[in-house]
Amino acid sequence: MSGRDVTGGDVAHASARDRRRARRHGRQRTWPAFWVFVGPFLAGLILFTFLPIVWSAVLSFFDAHNTVTPTRFVGLANYVDMLTNSDFLASLGTFSVFAVFIVPTTVAISLGLALLVHRLRFARAFFRSVFFLPAACSYVVAALIWKLSIFNGVRFGLANTVLGLFDVDQVPWLSSASPPWYWVALVTLRLWLQVGFYMVLFLAGLQRIPGELYEAAYVDGAKPGWQVFRYITLPQLRATTVAVVLLNLIAAYQAFDEFYNLMSSARGYPPFARPPLVYLYFTALGQGQDFGHGSAGAVILALLIGIVTVLQGKLFGFGRRD
Amino acid sequence: MDGPHAVGYARSARGRIGAIARYSALVLAALLFLLPFYLLVRNGLASDAEITAPDWTFFPTTLHWGNIGELFDDPSVPMAHSLLNSVLVSVVQTIGQVALSSMAGYGLARIPFRHANLVLAAIVATLMIPAAVTFVPTFVVVSSLGWVSTLRGLIVPGLFSGFTAFLFRQYFLSFPKELEEAARVDGLGHWGAYWRIVVPNSTGFIAAIGVITFLGSWNAFLWPLVIGQDSSSWTVQVALSSFMTAQTINLHELFVAAAVSILPLLLVFVFLQRYLVQGVAESGIKG
């Protein structure tokens, strides 16, 4: 790594570098240069990430309605309230159901598309672009198409028109809590938007698999198709798959855009289908501006995500070097 | 150009049938993926009656090109202003984030400093905290700065991404040292080496990260919604969302607005897709 070095020292080695610099520039330290490069960024990170987290942790022990300054110390009361609040707990349940739907289907479809596209001889770039194209669309725009065109209410909308062709009864897609038809809209919307993104990750993973492995499998008489996939492709894609599952799970935890836009109307947000972020949004920035409870909820959510991430890391060995 | 695994099998009859099946499946999937874009354009060019007609048809009977002009002439809809806000926010955030992160990444990767590991640990720690969970606390800080409903409030918190800085650090670690060494021998300082040698030789990576940043910034919704409390500071996403949940909806205008809002990204997509794909691959693998 150090390459040819005229002074014969290892550049990565600080003391050798200092000596060389000292020879050239006189006694000079590198820390001013370090701070010129890293300082502005770090200052912003402290102000807009670290300070907010500390402030939030403090606020979570206080009563803070309609104000962002702590007013009355309430100890753990906010945490107790949130953890016994059936709406907040229901929001965690909503997330869990959503994750159970979205994570496996995303992995399966994006891996399936990647395998199909990877083996193409013609028009590979074309198909990759088409499946990746929804990534250029925002959740807001997608929600608009889903809500006002595909899953529009009874009597109009593409989904009901198609059902009508088969003489199936019209479905009130977004306004029915039981059965929860709105899940169809929520899940298909996210699949459409993110499957292409993860397909690109899988394609990159497939490209890194050495061709010799397949040649060896062919020579050894492995049947093309399932055997090769099971014993060569899948194990080689392990790191990518783990990354996709993890990214997916975190993204599902942060679900906000499509829930907010699909479900809310001029009449407000229905009591069902509120994932944690939607719940916190209405708690902290809704009518009551309850920053104390909102902060406690954010801390709980951050801890939960932390635990899940660590567990997942332990389970799949994420971050471990192969 | 295909994976070698296809070589042994593709020429057989079985391989040919497999190829036909694959292409059929892909064409069908591609049509499904393109359908929402078609609906966007169809509804943007249809009349309100045709968007909500009980006897829905795939093609509208007449195309109303006037819908586009109507959108920008409608004084009750701050569409042009919201688009301008979005352009400002995305461009400044992209340039700012790439500049700040690449500098920080370079410093961390290349400038020896006794406590660099501590700084790096602090940055990596922020990766563990999902950005969306911090929206309440960040709102608290930005609100006490008095930045609610300002462009500053929209832009500045998004300039500092620990993730992007970390990506740049990893990239600069593998940047060939010889180039910089030559520059140093020629008397350039750290800044000169960074600005005249490293940056010009990293344009591909910078473009990849820049395109991803632009995409994320343009499509961001939660933060602009939280901070844009009056319509003068709406981004196009917040504007669309507000029109969607308004009492009275002008449907055809709404669909034209949505189509207009994805145009910049489609352009990015068509012309910079190489960088976009590279950026996704880079940022995904390390995520």
Determine the longest span between alpha carbons in chain A, in angstroms: 87
Using a CB–CB cutoff of 8 Å, tell me whether B13 touches chain A: no
Is B113 within the bounds of a domain? yes
Using a CB–CB cutoff of 8 Å, tell me whether B144 touches chain A: yes
Structural domain for A254, as ranges: 82-316
Of B130, B177, B226, the CB nearest to A2: B177
Closest CA to A298 of A30, A96, A59: A59
User: What Cα–Cα distance (Å) separates residue B223 from each residue in A289, B64, B84, B144, B219?
Assistant: 16, 35, 17, 16, 11
Cβ count near A303 (within 10 Å): 11
Is A272 within the bounds of a domain? yes
Is B136 within the bounds of a domain? yes
Is A41 within the bounds of a domain? no
Radius of gyration of chain B (CA): 24
What is the count of structural domains for chain B? 2
Closest CA to B98 of B161, B151, B156: B161
The set of residues, in sequence order, having a beta carbon less than 8 Å from that of B280 and lying 6+ positions away, is A135, A197, A200, A201, B212
Choose, out of B16, B31, B136, the residue to mutate when testing the contact with A (most A CBs < 10 Å).
Answer: B136
Closest CA to A41 of B35, B164, B252, B132: B164
Is A72 within the bounds of a domain? no
Q: Write down the ipTM of this complex.
A: 0.89
B192: closest chain A residue by CA? A33
Structural domain for B45, as ranges: 3-66
**Same domain flag for B154 and B170:** yes
The set of residues, in sequence order, having a beta carbon less than 8 Å from that of A250 and lying 6+ positions away, is A305, A309, B130
**Same domain flag for B231 and B166:** yes
Closest CA to A263 of A90, A143, A178: A143
pLDDT tens across the length of chain A (322 residues): 334 444 444 444 555 655 555 555 544 577 888 999 999 999 999 999 999 989 888 999 999 888 888 888 998 999 999 999 999 999 999 989 999 999 999 999 999 999 999 988 888 889 999 999 998 899 999 999 999 888 887 667 788 888 888 888 888 888 877 788 899 999 999 999 999 999 999 999 998 889 888 888 888 888 777 888 888 899 999 888 988 888 888 888 889 999 999 998 878 888 888 999 999 999 998 888 899 999 999 999 888 878 877 787 777 665 554 4
Is A298 within the bounds of a domain? yes
Using a CB–CB cutoff of 8 Å, tell me whether B160 touches chain A: yes
Q: What is the pLDDT of residue A25?
A: 52
Query: Cβ contacts (< 8 Å) between A209 and chain B: which residues?
Result: 3
**Same domain flag for B260 and B146:** yes
Beta bridge partners of A72: A63
Q: What is the pLDDT of residue B100?
A: 97
Choose, out of A2, A7, A13, A38, the residue to mutate when testing the contact with B (most B CBs < 10 Å).
Answer: A38
Is B287 within the bounds of a domain? no
Radius of gyration of chain A (CA): 26
Closest CA to A59 of A44, A72, A48, A46: A72
What is the count of structural domains for chain A? 1
Query: Cβ contacts (< 8 Å) between A260 and chain B: which residues?
Result: 221, 225, 241
B147-180, pLDDT tens digit by residue?
Answer: 999 999 999 999 999 999 999 999 999 888 888 8
**Same domain flag for B56 and B127:** no
Phi-psi region of B154 (alpha: psi -120 to 50; beta: other; left: phi over 0): alpha
A-facing residues of B in 193-252 (CB < 8 A) are 194, 215, 218-219, 221-222, 225-226, 237, 240-241, 244-247, 249, 251
What is the CATH classification number for the domain harbouring A148? 1.10.3720.10
SS3 state at A62:
strand
Query: Cβ contacts (< 8 Å) between A69 and chain B: which residues?
Result: 144
Using a CB–CB cutoff of 8 Å, tell me whether B56 touches chain A: yes
Q: Which amino acid does the sequence have at A255?
A: A
What is the CATH classification number for the domain harbouring B78? 1.10.3720.10
Count the alpha carbons within 13 Å of A119 in the hemisphere toward its beta carbon: 24
* Residue-by-residue DSSP string for A223-286: PTTHHHIIIIIHHHTHHHHHHHHHHHHHHHHT--HHHHHHH-BTTB--SS---HHHHHHHHHHS
**Same domain flag for B151 and B259:** yes
Beta bridge partners of A6: none
Is A50 within the bounds of a domain? no
Q: Counting one residue from A and one from B, how many pairs have CB atoms under 8 Å apart?
A: 317
Is A51 within the bounds of a domain? no
Query: Cβ contacts (< 8 Å) between A68 and chain B: which residues?
Result: 139-140, 143-144
Q: Which residue has the tokens 């070097």?
A: A321
Across B204-215, average pLDDT: 93
pTM over 0.90: no
Is B176 within the bounds of a domain? yes
**Same domain flag for B46 and B125:** no
Using a CB–CB cutoff of 8 Å, tell me whether B140 touches chain A: yes
**Same domain flag for B61 and B97:** no
Is A198 within the bounds of a domain? yes
**Same domain flag for B76 and B193:** yes
Mean pLDDT is highest, among A247-256, A302-311, B207-216, B245-254, for B207-216
Is B189 within the bounds of a domain? yes
Is B234 within the bounds of a domain? yes
Is B221 within the bounds of a domain? yes
**Same domain flag for B140 and B195:** yes
pLDDT at B3 over 60: no
**Same domain flag for B9 and B131:** no
**Same domain flag for B96 and B32:** no
Q: What is the pLDDT of residue A163?
A: 84
**Same domain flag for B214 and B150:** yes
Query: Cβ contacts (< 8 Å) between A231 and chain B: which residues?
Result: none
The set of residues, in sequence order, having a beta carbon less than 8 Å from that of B17 and lying 6+ positions away, is none
Q: Cβ contact (<8 Å) for B26 and A116? A: yes
Sort B192 into a burial class: Cβ within 10 Å, 0-12 / 13-18 / 19+. Answer: middle
Across B36-41, average pLDDT: 93
Is A132 within the bounds of a domain? yes
Phi-psi region of A66 (alpha: psi -120 to 50; beta: other; left: phi over 0): left
